[in-house]
């Protein structure tokens, strides 16, 4: 060999460099630990990860219009225009007489910036047609902050205090909260506007020749804000102001009305009073008393626990200034929930860390175990620092991802330490043993790491709301595994150099495999190789059986939460007065108020609770609806309360349709069993819906069966004698206006009370408004200056009309819905019902559809978004396998072992009873990369032995025996690390699926992969073979090694 050859420059070796520059290694070690600690302390903390709400609500109010008029003149025009919105998924609306709410749903694969643009387009497009909408329409109003979640929710109440007084206290609290760091919004929720009512009969006005227009002109003449000019003195300009504006009810009473030469004091013919809107549209209560609520929305980039502490301090200062009798009660405290959740997961993370460390110390000795024990916190610290820089908060998904990653990130360190130990046993000095780790394993380990990360690609790039919800799983696992690789090739050799003991050459290490256990293992693997056809056929049969068995595993979308809140939904018959809804809600409150399992009851009348929980299925305004938020003392108390509430509702409130449920994780889905029926003709849609309901009724598991069009409501139709009306000078428009004013009130003007603007409303006295017969006696002004009672020109006919109508993409749509007993998974029931309706669906006329809705639909869409990214995942894995193995056939063999985890996953889910939901699917997909990494280790070992000339049969069997320990060790580490999260409701199914999959696939990898290798690549070469013993002695290459020694 020439001098040039011997002095040829060696490739850069990062491990040797780290050992040669210990001061830099120590500096980086300390820097990473400090950065990780700071990142962990400063990292944002939340209960759930953020996800984009792709929903915008458009509301329009047209007083006096019927459902048909509302649809023809308002809803159709808006919906037609909204269908031009980019990225639109569907438009859904529900219409009542006089109002409509239109929900714009953007596609799940639309990113956050595109969603903002789509919402802008909604406003713009509706604005473009504003001139085509009818006169008198209020709105349209837009709500594109539907997903804002209140981190705290407080009730302000007090016996003996009026609502306006309580609202003033709430306003003070809001103003103080807005100056608190980290508070983006502080909102008074459930506000009831104040009104000034003029109760005057149309007959009294008619007798004096007065009209509502006269009354309105008199008020405006006294109340308008008009300029009174100014005086220019030469030195300054002095503004002139005129007093006398309406500021209280007494000012209205003193107004003088003039008609026909007669002057009438308004107070002589009308009762003027100030009060809350009547009838009110919504009302909030807390523990049996009316209250005002204040909610806080946190600004982005803040830690919810820090903001919660500041908000609590603000409330303490606020309470110190309150008069006696005013109480501030906390309804929702997300900072405390987050604190408990993070502490619980940090305990689980600690348990997993101890398990991994114990496995390391017990399996590879205390010195080697100590190296790994130091490396793992270093990996976690670097992961925390990167998470902080990327803006990834500590929340349900990222914490679970850390625990999942913990069982995987130890693999690289174990490979490096094990290899160093072997080289030290052979007599190499420590720096050479450490250097060998890098030269022979760095890039192969990187390939294995990237393949494992690639298994999570469908999770990271699934274009759906559910995919966005769990997306940080991909990022956190990916960060942790890449960091673990860097630590393994830089810090682990350096640590091993300092900690591992230098030893003399210990002889042939293959003697360690000459034990009773390994001899039995060798015999088992040998049998599998010799009977490879049988083994592979049995594996395929077992795999097919596991796929078949999935039909017996309960399926769901996302599991229920462990939070103690209970939501009680109450629907009274359509058309029920909101006051009656309040009466029934108060009666239920009273029944539960003394229950010792509850902490408090918050009641929401006319709409659902505000979004105090990100995945809440929030209920929009509805006059025949109420919701009770019952806070239990703990989870067992919650279960007792649910049983009690359901019993009380069934026995004492049988006419009320109710639903008692826990909070659920993941994107909101509503009722557990839902199907929608769509078509162009509402009568035909109703007929099909009745058939679907009849099919639902055949299933004994379903309860609270109903549809969302509900029952018809009583109405009064005026049949006008047009000839007589024209003769008397009465128009239909004037009749509508007078009836609206008499029965519901006509706004005349506003007066100003500080920041508040109070509407002045004229209406009939209460005694007349509450009687159906009083409609006939309303006096209508004529074109000739006179008045006639309504009975002279019209006849009142009682009718039944549809109270509410739902539409989807402008088609009448009825949703049939039902509840399920606890423990029954909705996806299973919905799928069976849908399949049972195959004949019914086949017989539908063109244009009519029966579709799955709710959680089952969202689950299918989310699974489809995962499946859509599977080809990318497979392509990446195949490319990495080809780079690693450089043999297409062997790459396909390794790829084929990935699905073997499904066998164990199915068995584990069946045995545990855990459902196969969206989270479990993520675990099954992630198994692909984890299992294939082990397969690469074994195939690489076989190839090394064959390259040295070992008999192929011996190489296949011997490699499985020699690689058994590291494969099983890393697999057991991953399995045991998952135990802490197997107890969690959310992560349990994923943990069981992954534990079962890894265990079974590890065993099958040791047996099936050698059998497959022997079948496809087991042909012996014609020459160049080495004796087996010699080959074994020469085998010192570590797993995944590519470079020659």
Mean local confidence (pLDDT), 537-561: 88
Helix (H, G, I), strand (E, B) or coil at 292: strand
**Could you tell me the pLDDT band of residue 219, with boundaries at 50, 70 and 90?**
confident
Angle between helices 472-499 and 22-42 (to 10 degrees): 150
Query: Which part of the chain is CATH 3.30.70.1430?
Result: 563-664
In this model, does residue 832 exceed pLDDT 50?
yes
The 8-class DSSP code of residue 792 comes to G
pLDDT at 1043 (0 to 100) = 34
In this model, does residue 1011 exceed pLDDT 80?
yes
In this model, does residue 814 exceed pLDDT 80?
yes
Question: What DSSP string runs through 482-551?
Answer: HHHHHHHHHHHHHHHHHHSPP------GGGGG-SHHHHHHHHHHHHHHHTHHHHHHHHHHHHHHHHHHGG
Taking Cα atoms as reference points, which of 465, 494, 430 lies closest to residue 18? 494
Mean local confidence (pLDDT), 275-293: 89
Residues 373 and 487: beta-carbon distance below 8 Å = no
**Could you tell me the pLDDT band of residue 224, with boundaries at 50, 70 and 90?**
low
Mean local confidence (pLDDT), 624-629: 94
Mean local confidence (pLDDT), 794-810: 86
The span from the CA of 355 to the CA of 978, in Å, is 10
pLDDT at 225 (0 to 100) = 64
For 808, the enclosing helix (H) or strand (E) is strand 805-808
Task: Give the architecture (CATH level 2) of 201-224+254-269+713-801.
Answer: 2-Layer Sandwich (3.30)
500-509, 704-713, 756-765, 810-819: the lowest-pLDDT one: 500-509
pLDDT at 537 (0 to 100) = 94
Mean local confidence (pLDDT), 498-509: 66
- Per the model's pLDDT, the better-predicted residue between 892 and 822 turns out to be 892
- Per the model's pLDDT, the better-predicted residue between 543 and 962 turns out to be 543
93-107, 606-620, 729-743: the lowest-pLDDT one: 729-743
In this model, does residue 977 exceed pLDDT 90?
no
The span from the CA of 1021 to the CA of 951, in Å, is 9
In this model, does residue 251 exceed pLDDT 60?
yes
Query: Which part of the chain is CATH 1.20.1640.10?
Result: 3-42+365-505+513-557+860-1034
Query: Alpha helix locations (H) across 291-365?
Result: 304-320, 334-364
- Per the model's pLDDT, the better-predicted residue between 838 and 216 turns out to be 838
The span from the CA of 599 to the CA of 49, in Å, is 28
The span from the CA of 950 to the CA of 799, in Å, is 94
* 3-class secondary structure per residue, 171-239: HHHHHHHHCCCCEEEEEEECCCCEEEEEECCHHHHHHCCCCHHHHHHHHHHHHCCCCCCEEECCCCEEE
Residues paired with residue 762 on neighbouring β-strands, in sequence order:
198, 746
pLDDT in tens, 26-45: 999 999 999 999 998 888 88
Query: Which part of the chain is CATH 3.30.2090.10?
Result: 201-224+254-269+713-801
Mean local confidence (pLDDT), 926-954: 83
pLDDT at 694 (0 to 100) = 92
pLDDT at 866 (0 to 100) = 85
pLDDT at 796 (0 to 100) = 82
Non-local CB neighbours of 516 within 8 Å, separated by 6+ positions:
none
In this model, does residue 649 exceed pLDDT 90?
yes
Mean local confidence (pLDDT), 364-376: 82
Residues 933 and 411: beta-carbon distance below 8 Å = yes
In this model, does residue 278 exceed pLDDT 70?
yes
Output the average pLDDT for the chain: 85
pLDDT in tens, 911-923: 988 888 888 888 8
Taking Cα atoms as reference points, which of 570, 661, 675, 578 lies closest to residue 617? 661
pLDDT at 1035 (0 to 100) = 42
**Could you tell me the pLDDT band of residue 1030, with boundaries at 50, 70 and 90?**
very low
pLDDT at 9 (0 to 100) = 59
Mean local confidence (pLDDT), 796-801: 82
Instruction: Determine the length of the chain.
Output: 1045
Q: Write b or e for each residue in 349-386: b if 16 or more Cβ atoms lie within 10 A of its Cβ, otherwise e.
A: bebbbebbbebbbebbeeebbbbbbbbbebbbbbbbbb
For 300, the enclosing helix (H) or strand (E) is none
pLDDT at 1038 (0 to 100) = 43
- CATH number attached to the domain at 563-664: 3.30.70.1430
pLDDT at 973 (0 to 100) = 83
- Per the model's pLDDT, the better-predicted residue between 153 and 780 turns out to be 153
In this model, does residue 1042 exceed pLDDT 70?
no
**Could you tell me the pLDDT band of residue 82, with boundaries at 50, 70 and 90?**
very high
51-60, 629-638, 934-943: the lowest-pLDDT one: 934-943
**Could you tell me the pLDDT band of residue 1033, with boundaries at 50, 70 and 90?**
very low
pLDDT at 801 (0 to 100) = 80
In this model, does residue 461 exceed pLDDT 60?
yes
Mean local confidence (pLDDT), 623-635: 93
pLDDT at 652 (0 to 100) = 92
**Residue 660: Cβ-neighbour burial (10 angstroms; 0-12, 13-18, 19+):** buried
Side-chain-facing half-sphere of 625: CA atoms under 13 Å: 16
Fold of 3-42+365-505+513-557+860-1034: Multidrug efflux transporter AcrB transmembrane fold (1.20.1640)
- Token digits of residue 182: 């980290």
pLDDT at 155 (0 to 100) = 94
pLDDT in tens, 850-890: 999 888 888 888 888 888 888 999 999 999 999 888 889 99
Mean local confidence (pLDDT), 783-802: 83
- Per the model's pLDDT, the better-predicted residue between 3 and 968 turns out to be 968
* CA dist 9 → 3, 6, 19, 490, 1044 (Å): 12, 9, 19, 21, 16
pLDDT at 674 (0 to 100) = 92
Taking Cα atoms as reference points, which of 1002, 748, 929, 918 lies closest to residue 196? 748
């Amino acid at each position: 060999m020439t001098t040039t050859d011997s002095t040829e420059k060696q490739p850069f070796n990062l491990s040797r460099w780290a050992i040669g520059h210990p001061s830099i290694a120590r500096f980086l070690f300390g820097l990473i630990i400090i950065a990780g600690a700071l990142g962990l302390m400063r990292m944002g903390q939340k209960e759930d990860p953020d996800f984009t709400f792709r929903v915008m609500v458009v509301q329009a109010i047209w007083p006096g219009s019927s459902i048909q008029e509302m649809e023809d003149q308002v809803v159709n025009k808006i919906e037609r225009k909204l269908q031009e919105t980019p990225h639109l998924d569907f438009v859904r609306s529900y219409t009542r007489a006089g109002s409509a709410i239109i929900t714009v749903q953007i596609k799940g694969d639309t990113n956050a910036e595109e969603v903002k643009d789509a919402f802008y387009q909604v406003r713009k497009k509706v604005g473009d047609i504003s001139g085509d909408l009818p006169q008198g329409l209020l709105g349209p109003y837009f709500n594109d902050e539907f997903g804002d979640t209140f981190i705290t929710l407080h009730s302000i109440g007090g016996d003996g205090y009026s609502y306006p007084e309580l609202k003033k206290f709430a306003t003070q609290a809001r103003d103080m909260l807005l100056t608190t760091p980290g508070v983006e919004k502080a909102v008074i929720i459930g506000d009831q506007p104040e009104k000034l009512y003029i109760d005057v009969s149309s007959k009294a006005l008619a007798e004096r020749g007065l009209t509502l227009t006269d009354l309105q002109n008199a008020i405006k003449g006294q109340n308008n804000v008009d300029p009174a000019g100014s005086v220019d003195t030469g030195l300054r300009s002095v503004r002139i102001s005129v007093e006398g504006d309406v500021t209280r009810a007494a000012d209205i009473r003193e107004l003088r009305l003039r008609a026909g030469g007669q002057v009438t004091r308004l107070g002589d013919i009308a009762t003027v009073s100030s009060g809350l809107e009547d009838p009110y549209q919504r009302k909030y209560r807390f523990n049996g008393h009316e209250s005002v609520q204040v909610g806080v929305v946190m600004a982005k980039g803040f830690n919810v626990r820090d903001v919660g502490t500041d908000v609590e301090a603000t409330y303490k200062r606020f309470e110190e200034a309150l008069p006696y009798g005013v109480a501030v009660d906390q309804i929702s405290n997300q900072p405390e929930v987050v604190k408990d959740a993070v502490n619980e997961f940090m305990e689980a993370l600690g348990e997993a860390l101890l398990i991994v460390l114990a496995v390391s110390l017990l399996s590879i000795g205390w010195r080697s175990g100590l190296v790994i024990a130091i490396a793992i916190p270093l990996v976690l610290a670097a992961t925390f620092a990167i998470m902080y820089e990327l803006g990834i908060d500590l929340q349900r998904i990222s914490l679970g991802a850390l625990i999942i990653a913990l069982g995987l990130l130890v693999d690289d360190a174990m490979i490096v330490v094990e290899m160093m130990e072997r080289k030290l046993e052979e007599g190499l000095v420590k720096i050479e043993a450490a250097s060998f780790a890098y030269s022979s394993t760095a890039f192969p380990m990187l390939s294995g790491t990237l393949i494992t990360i690639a298994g999570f690609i469908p999770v990271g790039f699934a274009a759906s709301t559910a995919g966005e919800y769990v997306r940080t799983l991909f990022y956190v696992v990916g960060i942790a595994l890449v960091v673990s690789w860097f630590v393994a090739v830089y810090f682990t050799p350096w640590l091993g150099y300092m900690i591992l003991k230098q030893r003399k050459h210990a002889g042939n290490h293959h003697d360690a495999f000459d034990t009773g256990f390994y001899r039995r293992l060798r015999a088992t693997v040998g049998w599998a190789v010799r009977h490879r056809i049988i083994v592979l056929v049995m594996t395929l049969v077992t795999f097919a059986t596991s796929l078949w068995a999935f039909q017996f595993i309960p399926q769901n979308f996302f599991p229920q939460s462990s939070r103690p809140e209970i939501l009680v939904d109450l629907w009274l018959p359509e058309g029920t007065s909101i006051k009656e809804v309040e009466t029934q809600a108060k009666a239920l409150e009273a029944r539960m108020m003394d229950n010792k399992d509850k902490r408090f009851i918050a009641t929401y009348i006319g709409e659902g609770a505000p979004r105090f929980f990100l995945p809440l299925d929030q209920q929009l305004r509805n006059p025949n609806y109420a919701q009770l938020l019952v806070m239990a003392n703990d989870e067992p108390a919650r279960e007792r309360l649910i049983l009690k509430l359901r019993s009380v509702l069934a026995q004492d409130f049988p006419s009320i349709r109710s639903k008692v449920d826990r909070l659920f994780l993941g994107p909101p889905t509503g009722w557990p069993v839902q199907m929608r029926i769509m078509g162009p003709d509402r009568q035909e849609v109703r007929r099909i819906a009745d058939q679907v309901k009849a099919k639902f009724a055949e299933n004994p598991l379903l309860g609270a069966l109903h549809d969302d069009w509900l029952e018809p409501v009583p109405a009064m139709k005026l049949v006008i004698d047009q000839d007589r009306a024209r003769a008397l000078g009465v128009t239909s428009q004037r009749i509508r206006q007078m009836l609206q004013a008499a029965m519901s009130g006509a706004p005349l003007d506003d007066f100003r009370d500080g920041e508040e603007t109070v509407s002045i409303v004229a209406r009939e006295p209460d005694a007349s408004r509450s009687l159906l017969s009083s409609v006939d006696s309303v006096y209508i002004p004529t074109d000739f200056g006179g008045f006639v009672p309504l009975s002279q020109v019209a006849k009142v006919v009682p009718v039944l009309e549809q109270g509410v109508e739902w539409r989807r993409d402008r088609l009448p749509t009825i949703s049939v819905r039902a509840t399920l007993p606890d423990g029954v998974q909705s996806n299973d029931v919905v799928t069976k019902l849908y399949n049972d309706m195959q004949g019914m669906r086949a017989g539908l006329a063109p244009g009519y559809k029966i579709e799955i809705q709710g959680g089952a639909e969202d689950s299918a869409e989310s699974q489809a978004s995962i499946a859509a990214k599977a080809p990318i995942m497979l392509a990446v894995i195949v490319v990495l396998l080809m780079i690693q193995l450089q043999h297409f056939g062997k790459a396909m063999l390794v790829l084929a072992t990935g699905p073997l985890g499904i066998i164990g996953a199915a068995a584990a889910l069946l045995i545990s009873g855990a459902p196969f939901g969206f989270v479990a699917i993520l675990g099954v997909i992630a198994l692909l990369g984890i299992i294939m990494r082990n397969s690469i280790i074994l195939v690489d070992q076989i190839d090394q032995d064959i390259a040295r000339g070992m008999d192929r049969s011996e190489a296949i069997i011997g490699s499985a025996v020699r690689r058994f320990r590291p494969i099983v060790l890393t697999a057991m580490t991953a399995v045991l690390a998952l135990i802490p999260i197997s107890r969690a409701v959310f992560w349990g199914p994923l943990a069981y699926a992954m534990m079962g999959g890894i265990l079974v696939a590890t065993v099958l990898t040791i047996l099936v992969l050698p059998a497959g290798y022997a079948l496809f690549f087991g042909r012996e070469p014609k020459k160049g073979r080495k004796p087996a013993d010699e080959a074994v002695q020469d085998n010192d290459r570590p797993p995944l090694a590519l470079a020659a020694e």
